[in-house]
Chain A
């Protein structure tokens, strides 16, 4: 199977609240929640519970969460809310994200536009390994990619999904797989389930 050898992927670790004086915002991708995960988060964030807001995105109505809870339907809605957060972010604030990479990076890049430094953002991967892929030829992104080779949503080229990750775009690079020998596309396999 043909797979990229470049490794520039961000590393994710279990979320733990940092006891800073600022506000703490936890955003969880609801449909990736496994049993017991919310309880684990509630424990991990107990120290900052008073200064914590949790945004649940597309979570079942029954899901509980620590801190002041806000429910949002889609990641777009969460992104807009982040960009228009009242009074903006403070330098001692922290943003914690949990979910799939496309989810987390949509929000991390929006938070960056709102002024948050990458050093104020923590991420824990949960759910599918699906990727957002950025086509290096037409610069369009293709969502929900689970295979080593994907068809670009913009230009329909067959793209090899590399492990080269752009923090600015929040996406993996996709490069034309049959550039040398047109038409010679290796077998497609589901690798990012």
Chain B
């Protein structure tokens, strides 16, 4: 983890939908929290009975708020235990260790118009964007793809939202991405945050239409995609061998055995966790390495990527 850690205390937990839990956190010592800008996230250390998870969550509290951090956690039972822990175990009064807020997905200040596309729980970073834009008066539009039953779930955070549209999976209600991207004015910045399939589709559609890459921004969730087939990792410098289970990431396994591994986003985006592969074939799932580096097979981002071979030897 980069930087100092924060001691937080759970102030309130609220279920805002059947699989969505809103959590309010304050500084354990009652003091002010470090300010965070729109799009920031924090990494929470969730201490379960048998293991520890480190999950990153977008802050949905209004930017700059220092009395509390708010997050919304969707329960993803099959792929990762951290969200189940938040839903089943976490209760007011619990203490948590968190990273300082970091921000790899801040709105672009020079934009003339902000176009946001959210898929499911990927709406969370945009809740703080909307508060920011409402405050600054920046032109914006939010397009939300979600379940039909959840179109009203985030309404409390979207009171001040300018243009707002909801889409769901039914005829006449799906988002036509190419059509939306075709009619945007120069100076627009596009942000997408959602499941990988949506992110990829939007990024591809923008490229096809001729959007400059500098105007297209994406936040990936690492959480949902770091599990998979178990394999063995051998950390050559520390001489430790670790079994990477199917529901944990390589990075989590490394952390579990106490080896030092730098990380920041835990979502394959920032590049901080890059590690040399000495043996074995990585299965790349990050958004950081270029095509040549992937093919070279000498680098891996342990926060999301895994192994195609049964064993990986890492320079750690």
Contacts and interface: CB of A to CB of B under 8 A. Distances in A.
B31 interface: no
A18 B212 CA distance: 11
B176 to A, nearest CB: 14
B109 interface: no
Given A115-B186, A117-B215, 20 more contacts: A19-B210, A21-B182, A21-B209, A22-B209, A88-B185, A89-B186, A90-B183, A90-B186, A91-B185, A91-B209, A91-B211, A92-B181, A93-B186, A93-B210, A115-B187, A116-B187, A117-B212, A119-B212, A119-B214, A120-B186
B214 A115 contact: no
A80 interface: no
B151 interface: no
Contacts of A114: 186
B212 A115 contact: no
A58 to B, nearest CB: 26
Q: Which of B183, B211, B213 has the most A CB atoms < 10 Å from its CB?
A: B211
Q: Which of B181, B184, B208, B210 has the most A CB atoms < 10 Å from its CB?
A: B210
Contact size range, B: 10 to 19
Interface of A is mostly: loop
B185 A115 contact: yes
A89 B186 CA distance: 5
Nearest to A88: B185
Interface in B198-223: 208-215
Given A90-B186, A93-B186, A115 B209 contact: no
Nearest to B208: A21
A162 interface: no
Interface string A90-126: 1111100000000000000000001111011000000
18 contacts: A20-B209, A21-B209, A88-B186, A89-B186, A90-B184, A91-B185, A91-B210, A91-B211, A91-B212, A92-B181, A92-B210, A115-B187, A116-B186, A116-B187, A117-B214, A117-B215, A119-B212, A119-B215
B186 A21 contact: no
Interface in A58-104: 88-94
Nearest to B214: A119
B112 interface: yes
Interface of B is mostly: mixed
A19 to B, nearest CB: 8
Interface in A113-161: 114-117, 119-120
Contacts of A115: 112, 185-187
B189 to A, nearest CB: 9
A79 to B, nearest CB: 16
Interface of B: 112, 181-188, 190, 208-215
B210 A20 contact: yes
Q: Which of B184, B186, B190, B215 has the most A CB atoms < 10 Å from its CB?
A: B186
Q: Which of A19, A90, A93, A116 has the most B CB atoms < 10 Å from its CB?
A: A90
B182 A92 contact: yes
A114 B185 CA distance: 10
A116 B214 CA distance: 12
Interface in A6-24: 18-22
Contacts of A18: 210
Contacts of A120: 186, 212
Contacts of A91: 181, 184-188, 190, 209-212, 215
A115 B185 CA distance: 8
A94 to B, nearest CB: 7
Nearest to A117: B212
Given A21-B182, A92-B182, A117 B187 contact: yes
